[in-house]
Chain A
Amino acid sequence: MGKIKLTWFWRQLNFRRFFAWLFVSLLLISVVVPLVVIVLWSLIDPEVGWQFPDLYPRALSLHFWKRLFAIGEVPRAMALSFTIAPVVTALAGLLSLPTAYALARREFRGKGLIEIMILLPIIIPGVTVGISLGAIFTRLGLSQTIIGIVLAHLLVVMPYMIRTVTASFKAIPQDVIDAAYNLGASPLQVAREILIPLVMPGLSAGGVFAFIYSLEEFVLTFIIATPTYQTIPTLLFSYLGYYFSRPLASAMSLLILAPTIIVLLLAEKFIKTEYLSAGFGKL
């Protein structure tokens, strides 16, 4: 009897599947629980609070959300973050197109060097150039300006955009372009009717990175724009320090998280993973 139970228990398939499910479930819990905790913290009732031994707050209220939006800085920071992000995305797309085209489809000396240089912002942490960039910007009069913020965000975002768009350009079969020229198309027409549409996946994937990274960028924005301009991350930073209020900080975090998670889920649905991975992909 004992032997039969043992063999059943150790049967390969069920054993492995159980642990696989356990593993994935634990990971899912570790992702979801912190989010839920933050949501709960943003919703606590100021009269009741969330005292220590309770596993969840006894009462909920929208009090802190209302207070959040009553603080003048918050809608301003939101407006700034959500205006800068699309601008950065669009600019990154435009600026990267010619370069990506050259990298993908043209040969020239020093190509390897240029490729390495484009990788540099990805492999070298941003903090290292933050201070120098701040100094340079001050000398150029770009410190404490919105243009400065946009340029800083572009810097963070460009390598990813260039990589995804280059991957896209590489995937275009030469036959299609040749056929177009054979049929008498001008370079402009080829660019407009063939290259741009076929490069959309790369642009979209890069655009997703650009949007998300711009929204979340902290270090450079902090160095360049504080205290004149606040984006949501820099504002949050100040609320994590001196004015620390857990419910407010939680609500503020959710202000950034909600749109970025939505963008992620949309991107997952509509963009092929190859392009998203190319953004991260091989060095």
Chain B
Amino acid sequence: MRRALRENITNLLLLLPGAGFITLFFLLPLLSTILTSVGLISFTGPGSLTWAHYAEFQKGFYLHAFLFSLWIGLGSSLGSLLIALPLCLVIRERFPGREIISSLLKIPLVIPALIATYMLMTVIAPHGLFNLLLMKLNIIAEPLKLIQDPWGIGILLVQMWKNIPFQAVIILAVMENINQEIIDAARNLGAGAWAVISRIIIPLSMPGILVAVILVFIRAFGGFEIPLLIGPVYPTTIPVLMYRRAMVDGNWGLASALATVIIVTSIIVVALYRRLAEKIG
């Protein structure tokens, strides 16, 4: 009995620095945000339960923002996957320069969102290098509107630029754990390269692929710096809307409600992932 108690206390003490820190500085503000959204905490005076902030969402405006955020999330996530997956398949092979190329391709991973957006804006802006080249090669006559456009193409491009290496690293880690014997066995049974890829490598990499897609969706859905700089003024994403409501309007309640939408969406997505992951086993 005393041994168990001592064990528990030791465990608690061990967990305190790391987990305790996160509890204090993340969980608490998280709960605080949710409570603020229903008025129980208020920045401007005593609070009382109210759904007024959520009632604001009836304005079509907010639905557009939500749909736009979903679009950005899915578009970034699946778009990056479209390129990251083939990239993993290529990088798996040994070829000269593999190390250097692999390291160079990881560079976007460490470039802050703000700077990445700024850099890419400079290149894909109407007067930037990209449009310039296309016009010089006579592929287009007028510059393409790639920034601040209503479909968020600019946002998608920056998100993809940053997230392709991110997904590739995750997926590759899982791919490299695939037992080589399975692949060899398949080859021995006469499977061609494409069959090996589609029947063995991709299915066995599914856990990694799922994680990659989920993580990028959440980051893109809840991303703030990128849409702020390169996104259209309307429609805009929920994080940017949140920022405007909080910093410009001073409407903390509404901003918290928007934040709660992001929180709930993220949690739902991860929960879905866990269900899916269990099914795949």
**Chain A residues with a Cβ under 8 A of chain B:** 16, 20, 23-24, 27-28, 30-35, 37-38, 41, 52-53, 55, 94-103, 106, 108, 114, 117-118, 120-125, 127-129, 131-133, 135-136, 151-152, 154-155, 158-159, 162, 212, 215-216, 218-219, 233, 236-237, 240, 246, 249-250, 253, 256-257, 260-261, 263-265, 268, 273-274, 276-277, 280-283
- Which DSSP category, helix, strand, loop or mixed, fits chain B's interface? helix
| From A118, A125, A136, A233, contact of B239 by CB (8 A) | A125
| From A99, A260, A268, contact of B19 by CB (8 A) | A99
| Given known A212-B110, A283-B270, contact A129–B18 (CB-CB < 8 A) | no
Query: In this assembly, does B50 line the interface, its C-beta being within 8 Å of a C-beta of chain A?
Result: no
Give the complex CA separation of A28 and B97 in angstroms: 12
How many B residues touch the partner, as a band? 35 or more
Asked if B14 and A99 sit within 8 Å, CB to CB, the answer is: yes
Asked if B29 and A136 sit within 8 Å, CB to CB, the answer is: yes
Asked if B120 and A260 sit within 8 Å, CB to CB, the answer is: no
| From B8, B19, B32, B123, contact of A118 by CB (8 A) | B19
Query: In this assembly, does B259 line the interface, its C-beta being within 8 Å of a C-beta of chain A?
Result: yes
7 examples of A-B residue contacts, CB within 8 angstroms: A31-B161, A101-B14, A123-B266, A261-B107, A274-B173, A282-B207, A283-B274
Query: In this assembly, does B169 line the interface, its C-beta being within 8 Å of a C-beta of chain A?
Result: yes
| Given known A121-B26, A125-B223, contact A27–B19 (CB-CB < 8 A) | no
Asked if A41 and B122 sit within 8 Å, CB to CB, the answer is: yes
Asked if A282 and B101 sit within 8 Å, CB to CB, the answer is: no
Asked if A280 and B170 sit within 8 Å, CB to CB, the answer is: yes
Stretch at the interface among B51-59, B83-91, B144-152, B181-189: B83-91
Query: In this assembly, does B23 line the interface, its C-beta being within 8 Å of a C-beta of chain A?
Result: yes
Give the complex CA separation of A282 and B277 in angstroms: 10
| Given known A246-B122, A277-B173, contact A20–B32 (CB-CB < 8 A) | no
Asked if B15 and A282 sit within 8 Å, CB to CB, the answer is: no
CB-CB < 8 A to A212: which residues of B? 110
CB-CB < 8 A to A53: which residues of B? 132
CB-CB < 8 A to A276: which residues of B? 169
Asked if A158 and B107 sit within 8 Å, CB to CB, the answer is: no
**Chain B residues with a Cβ under 8 A of chain A:** 7-8, 11, 13-19, 21-23, 25-30, 32-33, 36, 43, 83, 86-87, 90, 99, 101-115, 118-120, 122-123, 127-129, 132-133, 136, 161, 164, 166, 169-170, 172-174, 193, 207-208, 211, 214-215, 218-219, 221-225, 229, 239, 242-243, 246, 252, 255-256, 259-260, 262-263, 266-267, 270, 273-274
Give the complex CA separation of A265 and B100 in angstroms: 9
Asked if A132 and B103 sit within 8 Å, CB to CB, the answer is: no
What residue in chain B is nearest A133 (Cβ atoms)?
B29
Asked if B170 and A277 sit within 8 Å, CB to CB, the answer is: yes
CB-CB < 8 A to A132: which residues of B? 29-30, 32-33, 36, 256, 259
| From A123, A218, A264, contact of B225 by CB (8 A) | A218
| Given known A120-B30, A136-B32, A218-B112, contact A128–B259 (CB-CB < 8 A) | yes
Asked if A33 and B15 sit within 8 Å, CB to CB, the answer is: no
Asked if A264 and B106 sit within 8 Å, CB to CB, the answer is: yes
Asked if B222 and A127 sit within 8 Å, CB to CB, the answer is: yes
What residue in chain B is nearest A120 (Cβ atoms)?
B26
| Given known A20-B90, A264-B103, contact A283–B211 (CB-CB < 8 A) | yes
| Given known A117-B23, A129-B30, A283-B273, contact A96–B17 (CB-CB < 8 A) | yes
Give the complex CA separation of A129 and B11 in angstroms: 28
Asked if A98 and B15 sit within 8 Å, CB to CB, the answer is: yes
CB-CB < 8 A to A34: which residues of B? 119-120, 122-123
| Given known A128-B262, A283-B270, contact A151–B25 (CB-CB < 8 A) | yes
CB-CB < 8 A to A127: which residues of B? 222, 224, 239, 242-243, 259, 262
Can you name 8 extra interface pairs (CB under 8 A) apart from A55-B133, A216-B111? A41-B122, A55-B129, A127-B224, A132-B29, A133-B29, A216-B110, A236-B115, A253-B118
- CB B240 to nearest CB in A, in angstroms, measures 9
| Given known A117-B19, A162-B18, contact A131–B256 (CB-CB < 8 A) | yes
Asked if A31 and B29 sit within 8 Å, CB to CB, the answer is: no
- CB B211 to nearest CB in A, in angstroms, measures 6
What residue in chain A is nearest B171 (Cβ atoms)?
A277
| Given known A27-B164, A123-B218, A132-B29, contact A159–B22 (CB-CB < 8 A) | yes
- CB A122 to nearest CB in B, in angstroms, measures 8
CB-CB < 8 A to A215: which residues of B? 112
CB-CB < 8 A to A27: which residues of B? 83, 87, 105, 164
What residue in chain B is nearest A92 (Cβ atoms)?
B18
Asked if B19 and A114 sit within 8 Å, CB to CB, the answer is: yes
What residue in chain A is nearest B218 (Cβ atoms)?
A123
Give the complex CA separation of A99 and B11 in angstroms: 9
- CB A232 to nearest CB in B, in angstroms, measures 9
| Given known A55-B129, A155-B25, A282-B211, contact A128–B111 (CB-CB < 8 A) | no
